[in-house]
Structure 1
Amino acid sequence: MRRSLGRYELTHELGRGGMGVVWAARDRDNGREVAVKLLAPRGYGSELTTLERRFLREARLTSRLNHPGIPVVYDHGSDDGELYLVMELVPGRALDAVLKDEGALDVERAAGVAQGVADVLTYAHGQGVVHRDLKPSNLMITPSGEIKVLDFGVAAALEPRPGETRFTAANATPGTVVYMAPEQAVGRTVPASDLYSLGCVLYELLAGRPPFTDGSLFMLYHQHANEPVPPLSGHRPGIPTGLTKLVAGLLEKKPEDRPGSAAEVRALLAAWVPAPAETGLTHPRLAEVAALRRSGRPAHALEEYQELLATPGLGRADFLAARVGAALCAGALGRSREALDELKSVLAEQRSLLGPADAAVLDTRYEIAVLLVRTGERHPAVELLRRLADDEERFLVADDPRRSRSRALLKRLDRMT
C-alpha cells in the first residue's frame, strides 16, 4: 500500500468514489494535516496528457476560490501518472453519512444545510465556476455546523470539450446521475444545473431519499428529463408549503424555469432558518490584549491570547475572538500563511455563531483580505474586498469608520497597479 506522495505522508484512507480516493496525510514541509485526493486515470494512453492539462487548469482555477465554505486548495500536480489535489482537511461528517445514520432532517436543519450550500454557490457562480457534481457525499458538516462543499473543479476537469473523448468510467457523463440536471445529462452545464442538484439534495434531506432512485442509468436520465417529481408529502407530511414550492422550483426540468440564482435561493431559505443567537464579547482581557497587539508587541500579545484560549469557561464568541487575535499576531510575526489558514477556519465558525452581518465577521473577512495582499494573492484579495465593501455599507451603522475601509484599500491597490 502506498504511504507517501512526495512530501505528503499518507496516513489513512478517508473515502473513495467514482473520481478518486481521498487520504488523510501529513505535509512534512509545513507540519500540517491535509487531505490528498488522488485521481488515477489508468488506461487513457495518449489522452492522459490532455486530462492532465485540464485537471491542472481546473485545479489552478479552484485554488483561487476564497470562501469559508470551500476547502482551501494548498497544492496540486501529477506524480507517476496520478493526478492529485492537496486540500484543507475538513473535520466533520459527510452529509450522506448523516442521512444514513439519522434519516431525514428536521425542516430548520435541512433548510440551514441547503442555505449554506446556496451561499457557496452564490460565490462560486459569481467567479464563473459551476460545481457540476453536488451530492451528499460532497457536502461536509463540520462540528460547528458549517457546510463545506468539496470537489470544485474535479467534474469540470473530466468533462470533455466538443469532439473530445470523455475521461470518466465507461465514457459516462461527469457528475452523479441521481442528482444530475436534465440538461447536464446531454452535455450542457449552466449555473442552474447546480440549483437542480441542490434541489435533489434538499429533497433528500426532507424526504430521506432522492426524488428518483429506481432503475438503470438510462431510466434515471429519463426520469429527471421527463417524469414529474414525486410529491414530498408522499414521503413526509407537514413540510411547509413555501419550502415544498421552493424544492419544486429547483427541480423544474428547464433551467430557465428554476430560481434565477443561488443568491435568490439563499434568500428564500432564510424563512426556515433560525436567526443566530445574539452573542457579545464579555471577557475584559480581550480589549487589553488587542491593544497590546496593536501597540507593536505581537509576540507578547500572542502569549496573552494563548493564555486566554486556555481559560476555562470562555464564551464561544470570546474564544473565536481570541483565535482571531492570535492569528493576527502570527501574521505580524511573519507567519502569514499560518495566519491566513487560521482566519479562514475561524470565519466559518463565526458566521455560524454570529451570522454574516456581525461586525466581528466583517472584521475577520477584512483581515483575511489584508493577509492575501501581503502574501501576493492580489486577485482573490480584490474579489473579497469588493464583496466586503458592499456588506460593510449594508450592515455597519453610518458613523462606523469601518464602513469605508475596504473601498479605501481597493483604491490603494488600484493605485499600486
Structure 2
Amino acid sequence: MRRSLGRYELTHELGRGGMGVVWAAYDRDHGREVAIKLVVPRSNGSELTTLERRFLREARLTSRLEHPGIPAVHDHGSHDGELYLVMELVPGRALDAVLESDGPLSVERAADVARRAAEVLSYAHGQSVVHRDLKPSNLMVTPDGEIKVLDFGVAAALEPQPGETRFTAANATPGTVVYMAPEQAVGKTVPASDLYSLGCVLYELLAGDPPFTDGGLFLLYHQHAHEPVPPLGDRRSGVPAGLRTLVAGLLEKKPEDRPGSAAEVAALLAAWAPAQAVAAVTVLAHPRLAEIAALRRSGRPAPALEEYGELMDAPGLGRADFLIARAGAALCAGALGRTPEALGELKSVLAEQRSLLGPGDPAVLETRYEIAVLLARTGERHAAVESLRRLADDEERVLPADDARRGRARSLLDRLRRMT
C-alpha cells in the first residue's frame, strides 16, 4: 500500500465511493493535516488525457470558491495515472452516516441542514459553478453543527462532453443516480439540477429514504424522469404542509418548474429551521466605514469602491469591520451594474457574518436587507418577498424602536406586494 503522494504522507482512509478514495494525509511542506481525494478513471490512452485535462480545469475553477460551507482546495494534479485533489480536512460525520446511525432528522434539523446547503449552492451558482453530485455523503456535519458541502467540481470533471464516453454512467453507483435530476441523466446540467438533488436529500432527511430507490440504473433514470414522487406525507406524518409543498417543488421534473434559485430555497427553508437566539450587539465600527458609505450613497460608487479596497488592504482592520467593507464594496459593484457579482459576494459575507456575530447582529440584518433589495431589482421577486417577510419580523424583534432601520423591510415588502 502506498503511503505517500509527493509531499503528502497518507495516514488513513476516510472513505470511498464511485468517484474515488479519500485519505487523511499530512502536508510536510505546510505542516498541516489535509484530505486527499484520489480519482482512478476506468479508462486509458486519449480518454484518460481528456479526462485529466477536464479534472484539472475543474479543480482550478473550484479552488477559487471561498465560502465557510465549502472546504478550501489547497492543491491538485495527477500522479502515476491517478488524479488528486488536496482539500481542507473537515472534522465530523457525513450525513449518510448520521442517517444510518440516527435515522430521519427532526423537521427543524432537516430544514436547517437543507437551508445551509442551499446557501452554499446559492454562492456557488453565483460563481457559475454547479455541484452536479449533491447527496448525503457529500454533506459533512461538523462537531459544532455546521454543514460543509464536499466535492465541488469532481462530478463536473468526470461528466463527458458531447460525443465522449460517459464516464459517470459507466462508473456510476446507485447512490449517485438516486439523487440525479432527470435532465442531468441525459447530459444537460443547470443550477436547478442541484435543487432537484437537494430535494432528494431533504426528502431522505425527513422520510429516511430518498424518493426513488428500487431498480437498476436505467429504471432509476425512468422513475426520476416520469414517475410521480411518492407523497412525503405517506412516508412520514407530521411534516408541515408548506415544507411538503417545497419538497414537491424541488422535485418537479422540469427545471423551470422548480424554485427560481438556491437563494429562494434557503429563504423558504428558514421558516422551519431552528429558531436561534437573537440579540443586538453594539459594535464600534471603523470610522472610515461611515464616510465611505456616505460617498457610496451620494451616487459615487466607483470612488467608494476604490476606498473600500484601500481600507480592506490596510492593516489592523477587525474581522467584523472587514466584512462590512466587503459588503459595501459589493453594493458599489451592484450600483456599477455588476449585480450577479454583488449578490454572490453579499451572500458570502452574510454567511461569515452569521458565524462571527450571530444571526441577530444589526450588521447581519443590514446585509440581509441589501440582498433582498438586489433580489427585487433582478426580478427574483418571490425570493425577495420571502426574505423581507422574515427580515421584517427580525428587525422588529431586535432593533430598538428609535432605530431608523426598523420597519424598512416591512415597508419594502408592502411595496413589492402591491406591485404583484
Note if contact 1:19-1:39 (Cα within 8 Å) is conserved in structure 2. yes
How many angstroms does 1:398 deviate by? 7.3
Matching of residues 169-248 of structure 1 within 5 Å = 170=170, 176-248=176-248
Tell me which amino acid in the other structure corresponds to 1:82. E
Aligned to 1:149: 149
Aligned to 2:292: none
Q: Distance in 1 between matches of 2:16 and 2:171?
A: 19
State TM-score, norm by structure 2: 0.69
Note if contact 2:140-2:150 (Cα within 8 Å) is conserved in structure 1. yes
Note if contact 1:99-1:208 (Cα within 8 Å) is conserved in structure 2. yes
Tell me which amino acid in the other structure corresponds to 1:137. S
Structure 1 residues 361 and 40, CA gap change in structure 2 (3 angstroms) = farther
Matching of residues 11-410 of structure 1 within 5 Å = 11-168=11-168, 170=170, 176-278=176-278, 351-352=354-355, 354-355=357-358, 358=361
Note if contact 1:173-1:185 (Cα within 8 Å) is conserved in structure 2. no
Note if contact 2:160-2:166 (Cα within 8 Å) is conserved in structure 1. yes
Please give the secondary structure, in 2, of the residue aligned with 1:29.
coil
Q: Distance in 2 between matches of 1:35 and 1:107?
A: 32
Note if contact 1:277-1:354 (Cα within 8 Å) is conserved in structure 2. no
Note if contact 1:193-1:255 (Cα within 8 Å) is conserved in structure 2. yes
Q: Distance in 2 between matches of 1:205 and 1:353?
A: 28
Across the aligned residues of Structure 1 and Structure 2, the Cα RMSD in angstroms comes to: 3.3
How many angstroms does 1:354 deviate by? 4.8
Tell me which amino acid in the other structure corresponds to 1:198. L
Note if contact 1:107-1:272 (Cα within 8 Å) is conserved in structure 2. yes
Worse overlay, 224-233 or 191-200:
224-233
Deviations 1:24-80 (A, max 9, x none): 001001111000000112432221111111000000000000111000000001111
Deviations 1:257-307 (A, max 9, x none): 00000010000001101232236889xxx99xxx9xxxxxxxxxxxxxxxx
Deviations 1:369-416 (A, max 9, x none): xxxxxxxxxxxxxxxxxxxxxxxxx999879xxxxxxxxxxxxxxxxx
Aligned to 1:332: none
Tell me which amino acid in the other structure corresponds to 1:111. A
State TM-score, norm by structure 1: 0.69
Please give the secondary structure, in 2, of the residue aligned with 1:140.
strand
Q: Distance in 1 between matches of 2:112 and 2:261?
A: 17
Note if contact 2:18-2:172 (Cα within 8 Å) is conserved in structure 1. no
Please give the secondary structure, in 2, of the residue aligned with 1:271.
coil
How many angstroms does 1:87 deviate by? 0.2
Note if contact 1:177-1:220 (Cα within 8 Å) is conserved in structure 2. yes
Q: Distance in 2 between matches of 1:74 and 1:360?
A: 31
Tell me which amino acid in the other structure corresponds to 2:122. T
Please give the secondary structure, in 2, of the residue aligned with 1:68.
coil
Q: Distance in 2 between matches of 1:50 and 1:96?
A: 32
Tell me which amino acid in the other structure corresponds to 2:262. A
Please give the secondary structure, in 1, of the residue aligned with 2:259.
coil
Give % identity. Answer: 81
Q: How many residues align?
A: 317
Tell me which amino acid in the other structure corresponds to 1:234. D
Aligned to 1:4: 4
Please give the secondary structure, in 1, of the residue aligned with 2:167.
coil
Aligned to 1:370: none
Note if contact 2:278-2:359 (Cα within 8 Å) is conserved in structure 1. no
Note if contact 1:146-1:352 (Cα within 8 Å) is conserved in structure 2. no
